[in-house]
Amino acid sequence: MTNNRPSPVGIMRLINGYWATGVLAAAATHSVFTHLEHGAGTATELASRAAVAERGAQALLDGLVSVGLVELHEGRYRNTPEAATYLVEDSPVSLAPFARLKLTHTGSLTDLAEVVRAGGPVKDDAVVEVANNPHWEGIVTAIAAQSVPAAALAAEVLALADAGEISILDVGGGSGIYSGIWLETNPAARATQLDWAPINEIALRLLAERGVGDRFTTVDGDFHTTDFGTAAYDVAVYSHIAHQESPESNVEVFTRLRQALKPGGTLVVNDYVVDDDRSGPAFPLIFASEMLLKTRQGSTWTRSDYRDWLVKAGFEDVSFHTAEPATLVVAR
Ligand SMILES: C[S@@+](CC[C@H](N)C(=O)[O-])C[C@H]1O[C@@H](n2cnc3c(N)ncnc32)[C@H](O)[C@@H]1O
């Protein structure tokens, strides 16, 4: 009878899923992926380069093999292609800072069952959509790497390199990652970011470091109440914001963004978008719990939701472009 039972291993891995978060964050903290990339191939070599105990290095390597981020090849450890691309430090797409950040969020999940019962956050300090929330200061640089592929894809879809003297509005731009990439792509473009003042200060510093600060300006304020202007921009972007907002708020913001765009202008929305029947993709589906935990009305919205809201806001043409695990919604 026991032989007919399915294996419990998958469920054991899920129950202990926090081990993966911990091992990955500890490895990122000790730059393990960077040391492996630069030639460390054994626990002894890793311990020496990372200045950690050899017992600790061996446990981390075992854990990383277990979760599929490191592989053994003829007795030596090496990064998988994914780890080499996304977990080595000092790369624009490095998710190592995000891995370290997310470990600090794991405690909040002990509230999830109660949050599910209540239908929203049960502690006021869990809610992210409040004015000038210091939460964003810790997060915007750590999440910037996730937007790099989406911003690069949008630059291609919109042919920004050849678009000439365009003006761009980035609402809730955070670290200024879209403006940074797009201003580098198009040396005649100018960008304006609307965000809270402390966040704009971070973006101003980072864009000056990228050498495009002379074409970047910021507006401090709440995007629910700050005027976006009229027929002022060729391109607007709203990335990883729609999931924190209600459907009504998204329609309202998209309507003002349509007004802020010149005739023929383009709105780019980037977010974790789920299929209309909510059968996938996997990452946006599970992100709905993050929004339940941290927002009063946010969720991961479907393609139909975005299409309906954008049409209500006055856009005529809506297309979807995959930038895994996110989706770009391009509206004209
Ligand atoms: C998840 S981050 C996204 C940052 C950036 N767009 C990206 O994709 O990397 C959300 C950003 O929206 C900003 N934000 C959230 N609510 C806001 C509001 N009501 N007014 C202005 N900015 C807001 C936060 O400060 C933060 O920079």
How does pLDDT run across 172-204, given as a tens digit for each residue?
A: 999 999 999 999 999 999 999 999 999 999 999
Residues 46, 180 within the same domain:
no
The residue from 96, 124, 157 where one domain ends is 96
Among candidate residues 159, 264, 254, 140, the one with its CA nearest the CA of residue 204? 140
d(CA 160, CA 3): 59
CA distance linking residue 42 with residue 31, whole number of Å? 15
pLDDT, position 1? 52
| Domain identity same for 26 and 54 | yes
Output the pLDDT for position 127.
79
Q: Is 301 exposed, middle or buried (0-12, 13-18, 19+ CB in 10 A)?
A: buried
**In a shared domain, residues 67 and 189:** no
- Which amino acid residue places its CA nearest to atom 18 of ligand 1? 222
Nearest protein Cα to ligand 1, atom 11: 172
In a domain, 76, yes or no: yes
Instruction: Provide residues with CB under 6 Å of ligand 1.
Output: 129, 136, 140, 143-144, 147, 172-174, 177, 195-196, 199, 222-224, 239-241
Q: Which of 136, 222, 297 to mutate to test the pocket of ligand 1 (most atoms within 8 A of CB)?
A: 136
Cα–Cα distances (Å) from 229 to 169, 195, 200, 253, in that order, read 10, 15, 19, 12
The structure tokens 């080595």 sit at 88
Question: Does 102 map to a domain?
Answer: no
Instruction: Report which protein residue has its CA nearest ligand 1's atom 16.
Output: 129
The tally of domains found in the chain comes to 2
Domain span at 80: 2-96
Alpha carbon distance 143, 122 (integer Å): 25
Q: Which residues of the chain have pLDDT under 70?
A: 1-2, 129-131
Q: Which of 128, 130, 140 to mutate to test the pocket of ligand 1 (most atoms within 8 A of CB)?
A: 140
Alpha-carbon span 156 to 162, nearest angstrom: 10
Q: Has residue 298 been placed in a domain?
A: yes
Dihedral, 206, 208, 210, 212 alpha carbons, nearest 10: 130
Return d(Cα 326, Cα 146) in angstroms, integer: 9
Domain of 235, CATH number, reads: 3.40.50.150
- Phi/psi region, residue 270 (left: phi>0; alpha: psi -120 to 50; beta: rest), is beta
Q: Which tokens belong to 22?
A: 């911990």
Q: What is the DSSP letter of 123?
A: S
**Are 208 and 321 members of one domain?**
yes
Q: Model confidence over 78-108: pLDDT tens digits?
A: 999 999 999 999 999 999 999 999 999 999 9
Atom of ligand 1 nearest to the CA of 270: 8
Tokens 């879809």 found at: 157
Residue 68 CA to ligand 1 center (angstroms) comes to: 32
Residue 70 corresponds to which tokens in the numbers above? 């490191």
For atom 8 of ligand 1, which residue has the closest CA? 239
Residue 45 Cα to ligand 1 midpoint, Å, equals 42
Report the C-alpha dihedral over residues 147, 182, 265, 323, rounded to 10 degrees. Answer: -30
Q: Are residues 123 and 77 in the same domain?
A: no
Same-domain status, 285 and 162: yes
Dump strand ranges (E) for 62-199.
Answer: 70-73, 76-79, 167-171, 190-195
pLDDT at 63: 98
Q: Quick count: other Cβ atoms within 10 Å of Cβ 311?
A: 15
Does residue 101 lie in a domain region?
no
**Closest atom of ligand 1 relative to the 136 alpha carbon:** 25
